[in-house]
Structure 1
Amino acid sequence: MVASKARIGIKQYIKDKPTKWGYKLFVLADSACGYTWNFFVYEGKSSLATGKGLSYDSVMQLLDLSLLGGGYQLFMDNFYTSPCLFMDLLAKKTLACGTVRTNRQGFPKKKANDLSRRDPRGTIRWLRDGKLLFLKWMDTREVTMCSTMHKAYGGETVLRRVKNPDGGWEMSRIPIPAAVKDYNKYMGGVDLSDALIGYYNVLHKTTKWYKTFFFHFVDIAVVNSFILHQHLSRAQNKSPLSQKEFREKLVSELAALSSTSAAPDLPASTSHAPDLPASAKAAEEPCCPEYFGSDARSGRRVCALCKLSGLKVKTSVYCTKCSVPLCFVASRNCFRKWHTDGHSQTV
């Protein structure tokens, strides 16, 4: 969810999310590093729907042709998991595993030998339907899984707190299905990507809904670049930068590129021109607006032109040549008026 309360039809409300209001993005991310492979913005009911549900359509849209058939393993939560989706992915040589809702179409409804609330931790019940494995595992509560790549149980155990015969609690190892263990290990690529974006994001408050998207897409691009930087650094046996250092270096390099590309090429005849004295250079210096402080919120002073009109309007901008504070906003451009009316000649 990209937080926003803009008045637009594609905005969503999901009560169970930490960010309840905003734009909903479906994301495919690498489970190991959080690299964003693909994403799209949910815009509501689509005319290209297959009739198999939003969860089915979103997964198939995220897995483009370059990924399908590559033997990848896909992990997902219970919103996406369905037997129909898993069988279609398996037909395209893509393995899948995820938690599943028991009311999904195709989920077995047999009650014989099912789990009960009184079953101890580590109890496993499973059922195989062709290539599909359905299993239930009792932890603190019942966990229901579906997979096309796992055995029901391979001998794995996990440390949990269980009751002993005396009624007390003790740490003990209990059986755990491989599907649950791998799901806990690999499910979280999207969460990792969101966390990396949230540490240092460029999102600003704006009244334009499309700017919110733009800022978030910039964050995705920067985080993906940072992840590639980490992998390349480790491959070259170098110490990778932290994300903060990477962003600072990226900004400085972009600023340097912008300044060099914006500088006009000097003609050849001026290459041997004599150096001007300091007084002449100061006279040729253009009038440019600049902030008093590091941003628009610090170092505010009364505008010189507004003061002549009897007003006391504070501004954070001044002229670098004239050294006078002047308003420089969309509704009031005292900077331009000051220089066009000839006030700069009297200072």
Structure 2
Amino acid sequence: MLHTRESLTVDEQLVATRGRCNFRQYIPSKPGKYGLKIFWCCDSNTAYPLNGEVYPGRQHGAAPAAKDANRIRNLVNRLVHPWINTGRTITTDNYFTGAELAEDLLGVQTTLVGTIRRNKKEIPRELQPDNNRSQYSSIFCFDRQLTLVSYIPKKGHVVILLSSLHHDQAIDDEQKKKPEIILYYNNTKGGVDRMDQMVKTYSCKRKINRWPMTFFNIVDVGAIAAFLVWIKKNPKWNEKRQHRRRLFLMQLGYDLVETHVDRRRQQSQALQKNVRIALQTIGQTITTPQPDAVSTTRVKRRCQLCPRQRDRKVITHCMSCDIPCCPDHHKIICTTCYETFLE
């Protein structure tokens, strides 16, 4: 049985946008193809987002990616740094995996499992594709605390993985003879992908070409984290409903605006028609003032918002604080109450 509870996944997310941006990326394998790239470290089991870093593109004066061998290694070390020396296992794809990274993580009591590109210099020639090898065959290579495995899923194709967690030739899948390293990788590689899928299911983003609006993705990711924490603490909450996350997001959105709704509802005379309809749609009760609420039989008094030397007498009063105020300082409520309302 594979234990994945202590595994973390490091992968990339492409937040789609067509806006003009200096660090917009093009990844043809992604659905959106164009967008901003964010590297994430997520829990492999729950897809809980733990740490993220936006890729700003190659900076001016920096070394080319092919010559900057330490760039990706330093990126992974930054993403997983809060969880080093805790016995965790990091699962990565071939963009991140390397022998130097695995050795760095072993120095902080952290293991690594991931696919590795075939053009890496540390891969022996015997592990490369060979048409003479039979299907479902595996070749293992051991070097101190690192293990390489070359597996043939179909004729002429090879999958190579690096692991500092496994140290034997264990094969669990008897039908396709898959090594335990591959099965562990398949069970833990989807942490970031599941988080990205959840973001695309329910999102607050809108179709717009302004690239700064792309960072509404952070709100979506934060809502996922809040939902996972809530379910962890309240596992029986709507447990029989299949759309628990949608119900949670609806309640979360209402709780976030409840304070502002109550404040606006108290100033019902200043509400525009569409705002009043929106409040009534969500079940808010709004009391409409009577036509005689603004008395016209009052004695004229001096406007308290005009200079005293102006000595302007009026009969209109603010509907909120009931002070006399002239038309220059009064529509429905006085300018002072209006500024307080906007704060």
TM, length-normalised to structure 1? 0.68
Comparing 189-198 with 114-123, which one deviates more in the overlay? Answer: 114-123
CA displacement at 1:144 relative to structure 2? 0.6
Superposition pairs for residues 90-129 of structure 1, below 5 Å?
90-105=106-121, 107-111=122-126, 116-129=130-143
1:184 equivalent to 2:186? Answer yes
Gaps of 5+ in 2: 1-13, 279-287, 290-326, 333-343
Is the CA contact 2:118–2:128 (under 8 Å) kept in the aligned structure 1? no
Q: How many residues align?
A: 264
Match of 2:43 in 1: 30
Comparing 182-191 with 10-19, which one deviates more in the overlay? Answer: 10-19
Superposition pairs for residues 236-247 of structure 1, below 5 Å?
237-240=236-239, 242-247=244-249
Cα displacement string for residues 123-162 of structure 1 (whole angstroms, at most 9, x for unaligned residues):
110111111111101113311110000134224125xxxx
Match of 1:88 in 2: 104
Match of 1:291 among 262, 274, 278: 274
Residue type at the aligned position of 2:47: G
Taking only aligned residues, the RMSD between alpha carbons, in angstroms, comes to 3.2
Cα displacement string for residues 231-279 of structure 1 (whole angstroms, at most 9, x for unaligned residues):
1122xx5544711000011112122233346688xxxxxxxxxxxxxxx
Is the CA contact 1:115–1:125 (under 8 Å) kept in the aligned structure 2? no
**Partners in 1 of 2:191 and 2:41 — Cα distance?**
8
1:193 equivalent to 2:195? Answer yes
Match of 2:4 in 1: none
Alpha-carbon spacing, 1:191–1:184, altered in 2? closer, same or farther (3 Å) = same
CA displacement at 1:120 relative to structure 2? 2.8
Runs of 4+ displaced beyond 3 Å: 46-51, 237-241, 259-264, 292-295
Is the CA contact 2:198–2:224 (under 8 Å) kept in the aligned structure 1? yes
Superposition pairs for residues 256-335 of structure 1, below 5 Å?
256-260=258-262, 286-291=269-274
**Partners in 2 of 1:294 and 1:211 — Cα distance?**
28
TM, length-normalised to structure 2? 0.69
**SS of the residue aligned with 1:117?**
coil
Comparing both chains, which one has the higher relative contact order based on Cα–Cα distances under 8 Å and sequence gaps of 6 or more?
A: 2
**Partners in 2 of 1:291 and 1:259 — Cα distance?**
14
Alpha-carbon spacing, 1:290–1:176, altered in 2? closer, same or farther (3 Å) = same
**SS of the residue aligned with 1:212?**
helix
Match of 1:272 in 2: none
CA displacement at 1:115 relative to structure 2? 5.6
Superposition pairs for residues 152-171 of structure 1, below 5 Å?
152-158=168-174
Gaps of 5+ in 1: 159-172, 265-283, 296-319, 322-338
CA displacement at 1:196 relative to structure 2? 0.9
**Partners in 2 of 1:147 and 1:294 — Cα distance?**
60
**SS of the residue aligned with 1:201?**
coil
Match of 2:52 among 16, 26, 39: 39
**SS of the residue aligned with 2:234?**
helix
**SS of the residue aligned with 1:286?**
helix
1:250 equivalent to 2:252? Answer yes
**Partners in 1 of 2:55 and 2:33 — Cα distance?**
15
Is the CA contact 1:152–1:177 (under 8 Å) kept in the aligned structure 2? no
**Partners in 1 of 2:277 and 2:49 — Cα distance?**
34
**Partners in 2 of 1:92 and 1:68 — Cα distance?**
6
Cα displacement string for residues 285-312 of structure 1 (whole angstroms, at most 9, x for unaligned residues):
62532339988xxxxxxxxxxxxxxxxx
